[in-house]
Amino acid sequence: MIPAAFEYHAPKSLEEALRLLSRHGNEAKILAGGHSLLPLMKLRLAAPRCVIDIGRIQALRYIREENGRIAIGALTTHTEVLESPLLRAKCPLLPQTAWEIGDVQVRNRGTVGWSLAHADPAADYPAAVLALDAELVAASVHGTRTLRAMEFFVDMLTAALLPGEILTEVRVPILPPRTGTAYRKLHQPASGYALVGAAACLTLGPGGIVERVAVGLTGVGPKAYRAVAVEKALAGKKASEKLLTGAARHAVPEHVEPLSDLQASAEYRTAMAVVFVRRALESALARAQGKPR
């Protein structure tokens, strides 16, 4: 199908993009990689009067170490995340997650920022940024503000961006020694989206005690979430296979209503959440212990 007619802008700077967005308000949509917006427009599920294509703003495309964290520009592609030596060495969970996204074409075109801003409940990065307790920077004509990942995902396809804001940067921590990370995913066979995706970040202390652990889940409910009950079941205890298996049973808390659709029932998603949380934790633990996994 052909999209409805629209006005097209291709700003050369973030400032120009923000002015356009402020001027056109709710009639405008931001275009980055295009994998989310263009299909909606072709199906006439979205019909913006104005499209602001920010894909040419090179100032939003970078991966660099700043102030003890790693800053990633919103227009950085999945392939750039996957191949980044800095991320592989100091925050490998993001490259591990990027490897599971779509196919080569999707990874070459899709961007970190707009994958997160779209807040798709089956997207991969939300689980990872939750497990990393990442910070997300939003800009508008009025300035910038920083949000924690745990407050960024509001509901299905709804992020905490205010009208007139553009997500410009993601900041992730440099992980300490004896930290293992992993992303494990049950793929939807046709689309590659996550029926269930689990991201784990686990740090061991002296004696094999779990010093810090964080688990993010996507694909299960209407938005990505932190599996806090899993984390509480592990923190401060000596890591073991039995401990991980028991903790994974808390993958879907009572306040999360699992999705049920043509792809998978709520019961199946619940069962698979337990399985993939356990697998992610097992891999993260092995890596924290210096074992290949």
What's the pLDDT at 90? Answer: 98
Fold of 59-173: 3.30.465
Contact 258, 189 (CB under 8 A): no
Q: How many CB atoms are located within 10 Å of the residue 222 CB?
A: 17
Is the per-residue pLDDT at 224 higher than 80?
yes
For the chain, percent of residues with pLDDT exceeding 90: 95
Instruction: Give the DSSP letter string of 239-274.
Output: --HHHHHHHHTTSS-TT-----SSS--HHHHHHHHH
Fold of 7-53: 3.30.43
What's the pLDDT at 68? Answer: 94
Amino acid identity, residue 44?
R
Q: How many CB atoms are located within 10 Å of the residue 238 CB?
A: 11
What's the pLDDT at 24? Answer: 96
pLDDT band at 292 (very low <50, low <70, confident <90, very high): confident
pLDDT band at 201 (very low <50, low <70, confident <90, very high): very high
DSSP 292: -
Q: Residue 158 and residue 281: Cα distance in Å, rounded? A: 28
Average pLDDT on 132-150 reads 98
What's the pLDDT at 138? Answer: 98
What's the pLDDT at 34? Answer: 84
Q: Answer yes or no: CATH 3.30.390.50 is held by domain 179-288.
A: yes
Is the per-residue pLDDT at 1 higher than 80?
no
Average pLDDT on 191-212 reads 97
Cα atoms in the Cβ-side hemisphere of radius 13 Å centred on 15 = 0
Distance of CA 88 to the CA centre of its chain: 17
For the chain, percent of residues with pLDDT exceeding 70: 100
Average pLDDT on 90-94 reads 98
Q: Break the chain into its structural domains and give their ranges.
A: 7-53, 59-173, 179-288
Question: Model pTM?
Answer: 0.96
- Strand pairing category for 225-226 and 135-140: unpaired
Question: Which residues pair with residue 7 across a beta bridge?
Answer: 50
Which residues in the chain belong to E strands, given as ranges? 7-9, 28-31, 50-53, 63-66, 69-73, 135-140, 143-148, 153-155, 158-159, 166-173, 179-187, 194-204, 210-218, 225-226
